[in-house]
Amino acid sequence: MCDSIPSMSTSKNSVGFPDGVTVPEGLEVRRASMDDPLMQAAFRFAQENRFEDMTVTSSVIAKNGEIIGQGINGDGWHQENRRCERTGVENIGKRYEDCPGCHPDNHSERVAIRQALVAGHDLKDSEIYMYGHWWSCEPCMLATSDVGIKTVYILKDSKPIFDRSNTKQN
């Protein structure tokens, strides 16, 4: 079961993303339940590659139902170094450049895109399933749109699960 969110050229609170996040025109954002096999694949990939409880973020790119790319936040940097330079609620959604693993170039969406492209896949009309996200930053939304991905799937009802901005974690 999926819920659709219309694409737009400017951020809208009705999308459920933080202010300032733009969904590029023509990119569809949908919410998928954990019953979706590709969301389950993103979940498993996140669980298999997490380095601590706060980092359970992954992206899986599929075309015609086949997984053609996978990525985790940090592209392995966090796992190798066993730390994040941005840990703490005050840095959620900002200061990505403070940690090599958190830099937008190493967000799970862009890691999955790189993996699929290196393997020679055409991403036009593919889909990306994101687990551990309740939104996607603008650089990743643009990268997703630029390579021809047509639909972004985010876990249904994910904001209460993954929004750490109101927690006391550090």
- In a 10 Å sphere around its CB, with 0-12 CB exposed, 13-18 middle and 19+ buried, how is residue 162 labelled? middle
Q: What are residue 151's DSSP bridge partners?
A: 28, 127
Determine contact, residues 58/71, Cβ cutoff 8 Å. yes
Collapse the DSSP code of 15 into the 3-class scheme (helix H, G, I; strand E, B; otherwise coil) and give the result.
helix
- Write out the chain's pLDDT in tens, 170 residues: 455 444 433 333 345 677 767 788 889 999 999 999 999 999 999 988 876 665 578 999 999 999 999 999 888 887 788 777 877 655 556 777 888 888 888 889 999 999 999 999 999 999 999 998 877 888 888 999 999 999 999 888 776 667 666 544 43
Instruction: Return the HEC string of 18-81.
Output: CCCCCCCCCCEEEEECCCCHHHHHHHHHHHHHCCCCCCCCEEEEEECCEEEEEEECCCCHHHHH
Tokens found for residue 77: 């940097």
Structural Rg of the chain based on CA atoms? 15
Other CB atoms within 10 A of residue 121 CB: 17
CA distance 5 to 70: 23
